[in-house]
Chains A and B, each alone.
Chain A
Amino acid sequence: MIKKSLTKTMNPGVRFLINYAVPIIFVILVAFAIPLSGLSGLYFIRELMLRLSRNSFLILSLLIPVMAGMGMNFGIVLGAMAGELGLVFIMDWRIIGMPGLLLAILISTPIAVLLGYFAGIILNRAKGREMVTGFMLAFFMNGIYQLFVLYGMGNIIPISNSSILLPRGYGIRNSISLLGIRQVLDKLIPLKVGDILIPVATLLVVAALCIFIVWFRKTKLGQDMRTVGQDNEVARVSGINVEKTRILSIVISTVLACYGQILFLQNIGTMNTYQSHEQVGVFAIAALLVGGASVAKANIPNVFIGVILFHTMFVVSPRAGKALMGQAQLGEYFRVFVSYGVIAFSLALYAWRKRVEKENERKKIMNYRKSILAK
């Protein structure tokens, strides 16, 4: 007897609800919390515009590994670290303005490629466990990064700008001002609508990335990745070098994440040397999942819907928490809870669906065999 899988229910309504459970729950949550927070519509639009331009690039960098079947790439943290290293160097050399930004990108790219390659190799050796491994790898690299930045810089790596060093003489400070390149891309093409500053150049860059991703899907490499993502064996038989393709998808993702982090930091204007990249992975992945993506499928609309929903929740939580329980701190914890909870829920849902479908496949085959034998 085949267990009727919920995902194969005839009723398209139920199917829609299950496939998009996460965003739907989110919309409800947000709709509930917005009036609670008492923030104005104008404030929202301004915040959302800001966050869209700031975070989208990073989240877009997650799409390619999903295409190649690598799941949610926690390795984007490595890309973020590469970007931060680039920024540390330009701050050390005191390069400002657009040249500074471009130089940071130039320097951090090879670092990102190397880290991405390393991550790709490790993930290839943990097939079937990519997400946990990626997650732990990010923590591990954080340790190496600390070794490098907290102990190596100023010591083995000469730093001439002492204002970014810790008082003890070596090791970078916890928080570096990026004043020299602050909003340098955002303000490149200034456009003001009423009171709101629209970062035209940044948005153009994000749009360019979207176009790149759409184009990439159609290239041979992109098609190869999709085949690898569908089924490793089929890909191998068609002559695709599965291992290399997977590594490539991670490298691309890491480099994009590197740029994304630089973009993010240039908007904020300060860099938390040791904290900025920690939450990058979790928040980006949570946002993508909130936008309706799954471990096996993620597209561009998921990114933007995710940013809007997730960041609205972000903005709203502290105030709503205060209004509800009198403690803004509650809102903070709620934010973190929701981020982790969304990932846990999406992953569990996805894993469950995957299993149920596999079971059904198996049972179908067994029944077919049985019916053949019975003849």
Chain B
Amino acid sequence: MSKRIIIRTTLVAVLILIGIFLYTIGKEHKVLIDNKDISVGNVICSASTTYVVRVDDQEIGVIKKGERNVAMVTGTSHKIVVEEIKGNVLTGEKHEKRFKLKTSESATINIPAMINNANEWIDKTN
């Protein structure tokens, strides 16, 4: 009798764990990407050029100076790739950053800050 209870409780626990797992890897997050001026500490990182942005495997497209775009990502760990583009040609300047998001978080990424490797390049909110 107690063996049955143990098996059943374990089963339920496993299912709950699976549920939490699915929840975590399946949750959609909103990531805003800005190509705007931002003041970090005392320094102002200005947005000067246009960038082509890619998050995970999604092509977000071109973000001009002063613009904002949005990416919807799923799961916990992500990668953002930003390439400078002048005219319609890639200049070859490329930046890449990885970030993790907890289940209830959404984020705002600032490109100039990211390029300058400032710590505040990403702002996470619940």
Complex alpha-carbon distance, A95 and B75, angstroms: 9
The reply on A169 being an interface residue by CB < 8 A is no
Min C-beta distance of A262 to chain B, whole Å? 14
Across the interface, name the chain A residue whose C-beta is closest to B15. Answer: A106
B28 x A103 contact (CB < 8 A): no
- Is A71 engaged at the interface, CB distance under 8 Å to the other chain? no
B19 — which chain A residues lie within 8 A by C-beta? 103, 106-107
- A98 surroundings in chain B (CB, below 8 A): 26
Judge if B70 is at the interface, Cβ distance under 8 Å.
no
A99 contacts B22, C-beta separation under 8 Å: yes
Smallest CB-CB separation from A106: which chain B residue?
Answer: B19
Residues of chain A lying within 8 A (CB to CB) of residue B28: 94-96, 180
Is A151 part of the binding interface, using a Cβ–Cβ cutoff of 8 Å?
no
Closest CB-CB distance, A243 to chain B, in whole Å? 22
In the complex, the chain A residue whose C-beta lies closest to that of B103 is: A93
A-facing mask of B14-37, CB < 8 A → 1, else 0? Answer: 010011001101111000000000
Which single residue of chain A is at the shortest CB-CB distance from B12? Answer: A110
Contact B18 A95 (CB under 8 A): no
Are B26 and A106 closer than 8 Å at their CB atoms? no
Bound form: Cα–Cα A107–B28 in Å = 18
Within 8 A of B (CB), among A81-118: 90, 93-100, 102-103, 106-107
- The verdict on B46 contacting chain A, using a C-beta distance below 8 Å, is no
Whether B74 is near chain A, meaning CB under 8 Å from some CB there, is: yes
CB-based contact A103/B15 at 8 Å:
no
Kindly report which residue of chain A lies nearest to residue B16, judged by CB atoms: A106
Which B residues lie within 8 Å of A100 (CB)? 22, 26
Q: Interface range on chain A: under 10, 10 to 19, 20 to 34, or 35 or more?
A: 10 to 19
Among candidates A95, A102, A106, residue contacting B27 with C-beta atoms closer than 8 Å: A95
Q: B18 and A96: CB pair below 8 A?
A: no
CA distance A106 to B22 in the complex (A): 10
Within the complex, the shortest CB–CB distance from A245 to chain B, in Å, comes to 20
Q: Bound state CA distance, A97 and B74, in angstroms?
A: 9
B residues 24-64 near A (Cβ < 8 Å) are 25-28
Q: Chain A residues near B22 (CB, 8 Å)?
A: 95, 99-100, 102-103, 106
Chain B residues whose CB sits within 8 angstroms of the CB of A107 once the complex forms: 19
- What does the 1/0 interface line of B89-108 toward A look like (CB < 8 Å)? 00000000000000000000
In the complex, the answer to whether A93 meets B27 with C-beta atoms within 8 Å is yes
Chain A: minimal CB distance from B22 (Å)? 4
Which positions 179-208 of chain A face chain B at CB distance < 8 Å?
Answer: 180
Q: Determine how close the nearest CB of chain B comes to the CB of A167; give it in whole angstroms.
A: 22
Are A94 and B15 touching (Cβ within 8 A)?
A: no
Q: Which residues of A contact B18 (CB under 8 A)?
A: 106
> Within the assembled complex, what's the spacing in Å between the Cα atoms of A99 and B18?
10
What's the minimum C-beta distance from A89 to chain B, rounded to whole angstroms? 10
CA distance A180 to B73 in the complex (A): 11
Q: Which residues of chain B are within 8 angstroms of A103 by Cβ–Cβ distance?
A: 19, 22-23, 26
Least distance between B106 CB and chain A CB atoms (Å): 10
Most chain-B CB neighbours within 10 Å: which of A90, A103, A107, A180?
A103
**B23 contacts across to A, CB distance below 8 A:** 93, 95, 99, 103
Give the complex CA separation of A180 and B27 in angstroms. 10
Asked whether, in the complex, the Cβ of A99 is within 8 Å of the Cβ of B15, the reply is no
Give the complex CA separation of A93 and B27 in angstroms: 7
Identify which of B23, B26, B27 gathers the most chain A CB atoms within 10 Å of its CB.
B26
Q: In the complex the two chains form, what is the Cα distance from A180 to B29 in whole Å?
A: 12
Residues 54 to 100 of chain A near chain B (Cβ within 8 Å): 90, 93-100
Complex Cα spacing A96 to B72, Å: 11
Q: Name the distance in Å between B105's Cβ and chain A's nearest Cβ.
A: 12
B15 touches A95 (CB 8 A): no
The chain A residue with its CB closest to the CB of B72 is A96
Binding site for B on A (CB under 8 A): 90, 93-100, 102-103, 106-107, 180
Interchain Cβ contacts under 8 Å between A and B, 30 examples = A93-B23, A93-B27, A94-B27, A95-B22, A95-B23, A95-B26, A95-B27, A95-B28, A96-B26, A96-B28, A97-B26, A97-B74, A98-B26, A99-B22, A99-B23, A99-B25, A99-B26, A99-B74, A100-B22, A100-B26, A102-B22, A103-B19, A103-B22, A103-B23, A103-B26, A106-B15, A106-B19, A106-B22, A107-B19, A180-B28
Other than the known A94-B27, A94-B28, what 14 A-B pairs have Cβ atoms closer than 8 Å? Answer: A95-B23, A95-B28, A96-B26, A96-B74, A97-B74, A99-B22, A99-B23, A99-B25, A100-B22, A100-B26, A102-B22, A103-B19, A106-B15, A106-B18
Which 10 pairs between the two chains have the least Cβ-Cβ distance?
A: A99-B26, A95-B26, A103-B22, A99-B22, A94-B28, A100-B26, A96-B28, A99-B25, A106-B19, A102-B22
